[in-house]
Amino acid sequence: MGAISSSRTSVGIQRKPDNKALQAITDMNQLNSPLLRLPGEIRNKIYYHALGGCEIYCMNSGKRVMLVGRPASQLAWKFEPIHKIMALHLPLVCRQISAETGNYFTFKYNSFGTIHTNDFTVLLGRLGSEHIGRIEVVKMNFVRDSDIFRWTADKWFPYRRLLKLPNLKRLVLRDLSTMVEPVKEAVVKELKKSGRFENLEIEIQSIC
Protein backbone atom coordinates (compact mmCIF):
# COMPACT_ATOMS: atom_id res chain seq x y z
CA MET A 1 0.00 0.00 0.00
CA GLY A 2 1.48 3.28 -1.04
CA ALA A 3 2.79 5.59 1.64
CA ILE A 4 2.71 9.38 1.55
CA SER A 5 6.27 10.57 1.28
CA SER A 6 7.40 14.17 1.65
CA SER A 7 9.31 15.79 -1.19
CA ARG A 8 12.46 17.85 -0.56
CA THR A 9 13.58 21.27 -1.67
CA SER A 10 17.05 21.93 -3.06
CA VAL A 11 18.32 22.84 0.41
CA GLY A 12 17.02 19.64 1.98
CA ILE A 13 14.02 21.15 3.81
CA GLN A 14 10.99 18.87 3.81
CA ARG A 15 7.64 20.18 2.64
CA LYS A 16 4.26 18.52 2.57
CA PRO A 17 2.86 17.31 -0.75
CA ASP A 18 0.25 19.65 -2.22
CA ASN A 19 -3.36 18.57 -2.78
CA LYS A 20 -2.65 17.49 -6.34
CA ALA A 21 0.18 15.22 -5.21
CA LEU A 22 -1.95 13.77 -2.41
CA GLN A 23 -4.76 13.02 -4.83
CA ALA A 24 -2.31 11.30 -7.17
CA ILE A 25 -1.16 9.08 -4.31
CA THR A 26 -4.77 8.29 -3.39
CA ASP A 27 -5.57 7.36 -6.99
CA MET A 28 -2.49 5.15 -7.16
CA ASN A 29 -3.46 3.40 -3.91
CA GLN A 30 -6.93 2.67 -5.26
CA LEU A 31 -5.38 0.97 -8.29
CA ASN A 32 -2.48 -0.85 -6.63
CA SER A 33 -3.61 -1.66 -3.09
CA PRO A 34 -5.06 -5.18 -2.65
CA LEU A 35 -7.18 -3.83 0.23
CA LEU A 36 -8.52 -0.71 -1.45
CA ARG A 37 -9.41 -2.61 -4.61
CA LEU A 38 -11.89 -4.71 -2.63
CA PRO A 39 -15.59 -3.75 -2.56
CA GLY A 40 -16.52 -1.36 0.23
CA GLU A 41 -18.62 -3.90 2.16
CA ILE A 42 -15.66 -6.31 2.30
CA ARG A 43 -13.32 -3.53 3.43
CA ASN A 44 -15.79 -2.70 6.21
CA LYS A 45 -15.68 -6.32 7.40
CA ILE A 46 -11.88 -6.18 7.44
CA TYR A 47 -11.95 -2.91 9.39
CA TYR A 48 -14.33 -4.47 11.90
CA HIS A 49 -12.10 -7.53 12.27
CA ALA A 50 -9.07 -5.29 12.83
CA LEU A 51 -10.60 -2.59 15.02
CA GLY A 52 -13.94 -3.82 16.36
CA GLY A 53 -15.66 -6.62 18.22
CA CYS A 54 -13.75 -6.15 21.48
CA GLU A 55 -14.43 -5.18 25.08
CA ILE A 56 -12.21 -2.28 26.14
CA TYR A 57 -11.44 -1.64 29.81
CA CYS A 58 -9.81 1.28 31.55
CA MET A 59 -8.03 0.06 34.67
CA ASN A 60 -6.68 2.36 37.33
CA SER A 61 -3.55 0.91 38.88
CA GLY A 62 -2.24 3.48 41.33
CA LYS A 63 -0.83 6.38 39.35
CA ARG A 64 -1.00 4.41 36.13
CA VAL A 65 -4.05 4.06 33.92
CA MET A 66 -4.07 1.15 31.49
CA LEU A 67 -6.27 0.38 28.50
CA VAL A 68 -6.74 -3.35 28.12
CA GLY A 69 -9.27 -5.54 26.39
CA ARG A 70 -10.34 -8.87 25.05
CA PRO A 71 -12.34 -10.10 22.05
CA ALA A 72 -16.05 -9.96 22.93
CA SER A 73 -16.44 -13.59 21.80
CA GLN A 74 -13.64 -14.85 24.04
CA LEU A 75 -14.90 -17.01 26.90
CA ALA A 76 -11.71 -16.92 28.95
CA TRP A 77 -11.46 -13.92 31.28
CA LYS A 78 -8.10 -12.75 29.99
CA PHE A 79 -7.06 -9.19 29.19
CA GLU A 80 -4.34 -7.97 26.85
CA PRO A 81 -3.08 -4.46 26.08
CA ILE A 82 -5.36 -3.17 23.34
CA HIS A 83 -2.50 -2.80 20.86
CA LYS A 84 -2.17 -6.60 20.96
CA ILE A 85 -5.79 -7.30 20.07
CA MET A 86 -6.57 -4.38 17.75
CA ALA A 87 -4.71 -3.08 14.69
CA LEU A 88 -4.61 0.49 15.96
CA HIS A 89 -2.08 1.47 13.29
CA LEU A 90 -4.41 0.61 10.40
CA PRO A 91 -6.04 4.08 10.06
CA LEU A 92 -2.55 5.59 9.78
CA VAL A 93 -1.64 3.62 6.65
CA CYS A 94 -3.14 6.06 4.17
CA ARG A 95 -5.66 8.88 3.83
CA GLN A 96 -8.42 6.74 2.36
CA ILE A 97 -8.36 4.16 5.16
CA SER A 98 -8.23 6.98 7.69
CA ALA A 99 -11.30 8.57 6.06
CA GLU A 100 -13.19 5.27 5.85
CA THR A 101 -12.60 4.31 9.48
CA GLY A 102 -12.98 7.86 10.78
CA ASN A 103 -12.22 9.09 14.29
CA TYR A 104 -14.90 7.09 16.06
CA PHE A 105 -14.82 3.58 14.58
CA THR A 106 -13.45 1.99 17.75
CA PHE A 107 -16.09 3.72 19.86
CA LYS A 108 -18.99 2.56 17.71
CA TYR A 109 -17.93 -1.04 17.14
CA ASN A 110 -16.54 -1.99 20.56
CA SER A 111 -18.10 -2.14 24.00
CA PHE A 112 -16.56 -0.44 27.03
CA GLY A 113 -16.36 -2.35 30.26
CA THR A 114 -15.52 -1.80 33.87
CA ILE A 115 -14.51 -4.15 36.66
CA HIS A 116 -14.91 -1.51 39.36
CA THR A 117 -17.37 1.34 38.94
CA ASN A 118 -14.67 3.91 39.78
CA ASP A 119 -12.69 2.77 36.74
CA PHE A 120 -15.52 3.95 34.54
CA THR A 121 -15.18 7.44 35.99
CA VAL A 122 -11.47 7.34 35.13
CA LEU A 123 -12.32 6.40 31.54
CA LEU A 124 -14.85 9.21 31.13
CA GLY A 125 -12.35 11.67 32.56
CA ARG A 126 -9.91 10.87 29.75
CA LEU A 127 -12.34 11.16 26.85
CA GLY A 128 -13.61 14.24 25.09
CA SER A 129 -17.33 14.89 24.76
CA GLU A 130 -17.37 13.73 21.12
CA HIS A 131 -15.88 10.35 22.06
CA ILE A 132 -18.18 9.97 25.06
CA GLY A 133 -21.07 10.63 22.72
CA ARG A 134 -20.07 7.67 20.53
CA ILE A 135 -20.14 4.99 23.24
CA GLU A 136 -23.18 2.76 22.67
CA VAL A 137 -22.51 -0.37 24.78
CA VAL A 138 -21.19 -0.66 28.35
CA LYS A 139 -20.47 -3.88 30.25
CA MET A 140 -20.16 -4.05 34.03
CA ASN A 141 -19.74 -6.75 36.66
CA PHE A 142 -22.82 -7.07 38.85
CA VAL A 143 -23.48 -8.88 42.11
CA ARG A 144 -27.09 -9.01 43.13
CA ASP A 145 -27.68 -7.07 46.31
CA SER A 146 -30.62 -8.43 48.30
CA ASP A 147 -31.51 -4.84 49.13
CA ILE A 148 -31.49 -3.60 45.53
CA PHE A 149 -35.16 -2.73 45.85
CA ARG A 150 -34.29 -0.39 48.72
CA TRP A 151 -31.07 1.10 47.38
CA THR A 152 -30.23 4.58 48.57
CA ALA A 153 -28.88 7.35 46.32
CA ASP A 154 -25.23 6.46 47.03
CA LYS A 155 -25.87 2.88 45.85
CA TRP A 156 -27.37 4.14 42.59
CA PHE A 157 -24.68 6.75 42.01
CA PRO A 158 -22.20 4.51 40.09
CA TYR A 159 -24.93 3.45 37.68
CA ARG A 160 -26.31 6.93 37.19
CA ARG A 161 -22.90 7.99 35.92
CA LEU A 162 -23.93 6.13 32.79
CA LEU A 163 -26.49 8.86 32.18
CA LYS A 164 -23.53 10.98 31.02
CA LEU A 165 -23.40 8.82 27.89
CA PRO A 166 -25.93 10.50 25.58
CA ASN A 167 -26.00 7.69 22.99
CA LEU A 168 -25.77 4.68 25.30
CA LYS A 169 -28.08 2.02 23.87
CA ARG A 170 -27.24 -1.12 25.80
CA LEU A 171 -26.03 -2.03 29.29
CA VAL A 172 -24.76 -5.57 29.86
CA LEU A 173 -24.40 -6.68 33.48
CA ARG A 174 -22.25 -9.77 34.03
CA ASP A 175 -23.99 -11.76 36.74
CA LEU A 176 -21.49 -12.86 39.38
CA SER A 177 -24.21 -14.16 41.71
CA THR A 178 -25.98 -16.82 39.58
CA MET A 179 -29.42 -15.24 39.52
CA VAL A 180 -32.34 -17.29 38.25
CA GLU A 181 -34.40 -15.83 35.40
CA PRO A 182 -37.31 -14.44 37.50
CA VAL A 183 -34.82 -12.58 39.69
CA LYS A 184 -32.99 -11.22 36.64
CA GLU A 185 -36.28 -9.90 35.28
CA ALA A 186 -37.09 -8.23 38.60
CA VAL A 187 -33.63 -6.64 38.79
CA VAL A 188 -33.87 -5.30 35.23
CA LYS A 189 -37.28 -3.84 36.03
CA GLU A 190 -35.92 -2.14 39.13
CA LEU A 191 -32.88 -0.79 37.28
CA LYS A 192 -35.11 0.71 34.62
CA LYS A 193 -37.44 2.25 37.18
CA SER A 194 -35.14 3.50 39.94
CA GLY A 195 -31.96 3.80 37.92
CA ARG A 196 -33.63 6.11 35.39
CA PHE A 197 -32.82 3.74 32.53
CA GLU A 198 -36.35 3.43 31.14
CA ASN A 199 -35.24 3.65 27.50
CA LEU A 200 -32.07 1.58 27.84
CA GLU A 201 -31.75 -2.04 26.76
CA ILE A 202 -30.46 -3.95 29.80
CA GLU A 203 -29.18 -7.52 29.65
CA ILE A 204 -28.02 -9.61 32.60
CA GLN A 205 -25.46 -12.07 31.29
CA SER A 206 -24.75 -15.32 33.11
CA ILE A 207 -21.04 -16.04 33.29
CA CYS A 208 -21.00 -18.95 35.75
pLDDT band at 84 (very low <50, low <70, confident <90, very high): very high
* Highest mean pLDDT pick, 1-10, 17-26, 79-88, 120-129: 79-88
pLDDT band at 41 (very low <50, low <70, confident <90, very high): very high
- Angstrom distance (rounded) from CA 178 to CA 171: 18
**Chain centroid, CA 141 distance in Å:** 17
Does 75 or 103 have the greater pLDDT score?
Answer: 103
Q: Which H/E stretch holds residue 49?
A: helix 40-51
pLDDT band at 179 (very low <50, low <70, confident <90, very high): confident
- Angstrom distance (rounded) from CA 142 to CA 98: 37
- Angstrom distance (rounded) from CA 128 to CA 133: 9
- What 3-state DSSP class applies to 59? strand
- What 3-state DSSP class applies to 110? coil
Q: What is the pLDDT of residues 181-203, one digit of tens each?
A: 988 888 888 888 776 788 889 99
Q: What is the pLDDT of residues 63-83, one digit of tens each?
A: 777 888 999 887 667 889 999
> Has residue 61 got a pLDDT over 60?
yes
* Segment 42-67 mean pLDDT: 87
> Has residue 153 got a pLDDT over 70?
no
Residue 1 to residues 9, 18, 141, Cα–Cα distance (Å): 25, 20, 42
Find the angle CA(163)-CA(167)-CA(168) to the nearest 5 degrees. Answer: 60
